[in-house]
Amino acid sequence: MTRSKRLDATFAALADPTRRAILARLASGEASVTELARPFEMSQPAISKHLKVLERAGLVSRGRDAQRRPRRLAAKPLAEANGWLEGYRRFWEGSFRQLDTLLEQMKARRKHKGDIR
Amino acid sequence: MSTAGTLQITAQGDRELVITRRFDAPCTLVFAAMTKPELVKRWLGVFGGWSLAVCEIDLRVGGAYRYEWHGPKGARMGMRGVTREVTPPARWVATGRFDEAWYPGEEINTSVLVEQRGQTTLTNTVRYESQEARDMVLKSPMEKGMAAGYDNLEKVLATMAQEG
């Protein structure tokens, strides 16, 4: 998968609030499907469906324990997604810092004009 | 400059993204800096080797604007749109679309400036065509739903980075 395709899959998977909540839960440690289903008013098959989407996006992987089959967070795609968002934030932070400088110059010029008058 | 606020980006409703930032300057100056091409060229996306090479703004209702950025190694980025509403120096509403938009549809940008004691707060509300488009831009980890697990997630990511 290309980086762009991978990001698309990640973001599609993240677009759902239940899936985000599942990831938030997995961020604090691995959990079985039963454990994951507990806080949600949802059936296990419904949760399993969400988990499949997350697995396909590479956000969640399965642990070794064959009995519990715990799910765990795969952090790399999330780091990529977050990196993208950081790009968006950086654009505005960088721009606004420049704007601060420009505004200081504009204020100084206006003050100077006022002094001459 | 130390009194300028920090940037905030948050989701609002299904389709909107809200960017707020305070500036240590009166409203009239901020509005001019945001709408006069020769001034916009000096800050919008102008860092890290990028310049706003083309900046044309017709601030009348129905008037078009065009931005073209030039970056390192011949990189290019462009955006265009149309002014829908303008009330200097407090409000500017315009449509917008990147040349190579990675999300469907046009966005509608509403910029509102509120001055208080010589400082101006910019609230830029970006309304996307659909929730899907907004979410593609927002990328959820910063949304509220994720916030609880996010501190933990940072630790997880840090650990994984160390482990390679």
Per-residue pLDDT of chain B (164 residues; tens, 9 = 90+): 444 677 887 778 888 888 899 999 999 999 999 999 999 999 999 988 889 999 999 999 999 999 999 988 888 889 999 999 999 999 999 999 988 766 778 999 999 999 999 999 999 999 999 888 887 776 544 333 333 333 334 443 344 444 43
As a whole number of angstroms, the distance between CA B41 and CA B68 comes to 10
Q: Average the pLDDT over each of A6-15, A54-63, B15-24, B71-80 and give the range with the smallest value.
A: A6-15
Kindly indicate the confidence band of residue A22, based on its pLDDT and cuts at 50, 70 and 90: confident
User: Are B50 and B57 spatial neighbours (Cβ–Cβ below 8 Å)?
Assistant: no
As a whole number of angstroms, the distance between CA A71 and CA A51 comes to 8
pLDDT for residue A43: 87
Domain boundaries, chain B: 8-163
Residue B121 — φ and ψ, nearest 5°?
Answer: -100, 125
**CATH code for position A66:** 1.10.10.10
**Which residues of A fall within a CB distance of 8 Å from B45?**
91, 94-95
pTM for the complete prediction? 0.64
Residue carrying structure tokens 């265009």: B80
pLDDT for residue B79: 92
Kindly indicate the confidence band of residue A1, based on its pLDDT and cuts at 50, 70 and 90: low
How many folded domains does chain A comprise?
1
As a whole number of angstroms, the distance between CA B1 and CA B25 comes to 9
CB contact under 8 A, A15 and B156: no
A92 interfaces chain B, CB cutoff of 8 Å? yes
As a whole number of angstroms, the distance between CA B140 and CA B75 comes to 27
CB contact under 8 A, A15 and B140: yes
CB contact under 8 A, A27 and B46: no
pLDDT for residue B150: 37
Residue-range definition of the domain harbouring residue A38: 3-116
- State the ipTM, two decimals: 0.79
- State which residue of chain B sits closest to A75, comparing Cα positions: B157
Q: Say if residue A114's pLDDT is above 80.
A: no
The token duo for A116 is 């001459």
Interface test with B, best of A2, A11, A30, A101 (most B CBs within 10 A): A11
pLDDT for residue A80: 62
B33 interfaces chain A, CB cutoff of 8 Å? yes
Side chain identity at residue B118, one-letter code: G
As a whole number of angstroms, the distance between CA B158 and CA B154 comes to 6
**Which residues of A fall within a CB distance of 8 Å from B145?**
17, 20-21, 24
Give contacts of B 137-156 with A, CB under 8 A.
137-143, 145-146, 148-150, 152-153, 156
CA distances from B119 to A54, A70, A110, B45, B109 (A): 45, 53, 16, 22, 22
pLDDT for residue A64: 76
What CATH architecture is B8-163?
2-Layer Sandwich (3.30)
